[in-house]
Structure 1
Amino acid sequence: MAIRAIAGILFDKDGTLLDYVKSWVPVNYELARIAAKGDETLARALLEAGGMDPDTGHVAPDSLLAAGNTVEIAAGMVGAGAPFTVEALTTLFDGLFARSAEYAVPVTDLATFFAGLHAKGYRLGVASSDNERSIRETARRFGFDNYLHYVAGYDSGYGVKPEPGMVLGFCAATGLTPDQVAVVGDNNHDMHMGRSAGVGLTVAVLSGTGSRQSLAAASDHCLTDITELEAVL
């Protein structure tokens, strides 16, 4: 593996570009309220089923709320007692997630960060378990949409994490081979997606729900956050 050959970087969004705790813990509380139709006891049970402590807000690594896509989260909530169909709850959650882009907190100045990588010639993309609309609204809001060569959400037609499809779609869009790509993310769904696609580098960050311990096995590097990325490239 020649690390110098990395020519494209595919980023996860939540917990990687965005600070997970500041951006998503408030959304998770709202998600549970919606799914429970305001029943506080049920809302607590739904959060626990999703892997979040309703008192502390801590989200367990690789849990449903940490790593699931919208359909998976909706199905988990319905399975735990939410009085909806999976389809109806998915629609509600997708709307909530798209609106939540307005309240997201970035890990760093993303416009400057992406401009720097773009200037060095890297092909850049975002692959998220969120919906594509939310990703594009986040990119517009933080001023890095013009630097992206590729955007994939769970609903973009490339499959879902940890399958390799989003990486292979990035390769098709940029003309790169998987061994020229680095995948950067905060949980094992990202790392396993990269490994299953045969990428040249998997880089874990600790700005999301993962820990050094939970991410060690599937990542080549584990960084505090994306601001340390250029050092390993």
Structure 2
Amino acid sequence: MEKTRTISGILFDKDGTLLDYAKSWVPVNYELARIAAKGDEGLARRLLVAGGMDPDTGHVAPDTLLAAGNTVEIAEGMVAAGSPMTVVELSTLFDGLFAQSASLAVAVTDLAGFFAALHGKGYRLGVASSDNEQSIRQTARRFGFDQYLHYVAGYDSGFGIKPEPGMVLGFCAATGLDPHEVAVVGDNNHDMHMGRRAGAGLTVAVLTGTGSRESLAAASDYCLNDITELHALLPDDGAPRRVIA
């Protein structure tokens, strides 16, 4: 537990971490494939397979395009797999779809209470997602934890994309923390590798997304069932050295 005692800030992924991936995003994946296929059901199934999702079961394989890609990467993958639309057209449509989907997302816990408790202990808190920034902020408002966030970064926020280190370094710049004082929490290896590349003090994987203990073991310091187990991992007496007003 020694590494946990240096942590003063926590940077969360959104989908699969704060939100239950299967309940929140599998229906969206079916819709984005229909959009990319322009209603051609056979093509939509092929696009889902290309993105890493079984069209019959809805299972999304770890670290595939639909598991970890940002809007543009997903659009590029759909075009490469046969969508008749352009990357620019699909990116615009997907961003709109993802923003609308914030109202249908299913949280893994009471996020307002969860963030309030961490904020009360003095942690600096942020969300870094491969989704667009607007969708992140809409999700935070919907679930009532926006007031506890010190930082929000999407793929379009100017900090680069996962697994590059930019989002973590942006969090550090916004909060005054050093990377070794930050825990990165996510459900796939893009999150873990982002944290490692930035020099984060802790990489914490959760199993509410598309990753498994096996797929996440190499790049994570801890693998938890869900974010609620962070309370035990980061005990009060090992909490931040810098208290926030």
The answer to whether the superposition gives a TM-score over 0.5 is yes
Distance 1:72 1:2 in 2: 34
Distance 2:140 2:218 in 1: 30
Distance 2:230 2:106 in 1: 19
AA paired with 2:149? L
Give the paired residue count: 233
TM-score of the aligned structures, taking structure 1 as reference length: 0.99
Matches within 5 A, 1:70-85: 70-85=71-86
Matches within 5 A, 1:43-54: 43-54=44-55
Structure 2 gaps, min length 5: 235-245
Deviations 1:93-119 (A, max 9, x none): 000000000000000000000000000
AA paired with 1:168? L
Offset of residue 5 of structure 1: 1.3
Which runs of at least 4 in structure 1 moved beyond 4 Å after TM superposition? none
Matches within 5 A, 1:79-98: 79-98=80-99
Distance 2:6 2:77 in 1: 40
Distance 1:2 1:57 in 2: 37
Deviations 1:49-68 (A, max 9, x none): 00000000000000000000
Secondary structure at the counterpart of residue 95 of structure 2: helix
Distance 1:75 1:8 in 2: 34
Matches within 5 A, 1:29-40: 29-40=30-41
Aligned counterpart, 1:192 = 193
1:176 counterpart = 2:187: no
Aligned counterpart, 1:9 = 10
Secondary structure at the counterpart of residue 202 of structure 1: strand
Distance 1:32 1:93 in 2: 10
Structure 1 gaps, min length 5: none
Alpha-carbon RMSD across the aligned residues, in angstroms, is 0.6
TM-score of the aligned structures, taking structure 2 as reference length: 0.94
Aligned counterpart, 2:119 = 118
Distance 1:49 1:229 in 2: 34
Offset of residue 3 of structure 1: 2.0
C-alpha spacing 1:2/1:56, structure 2 compared with 1 (3 Å)? closer
Deviations 1:50-90 (A, max 9, x none): 00000000000000000000000000000001011101100
Distance 1:144 1:182 in 2: 18
Distance 2:26 2:3 in 1: 38
Offset of residue 2 of structure 1: 3.5
Indicate conservation of the 8 Å contact 2:9/2:177, yes or no: yes
Aligned counterpart, 2:60 = 59
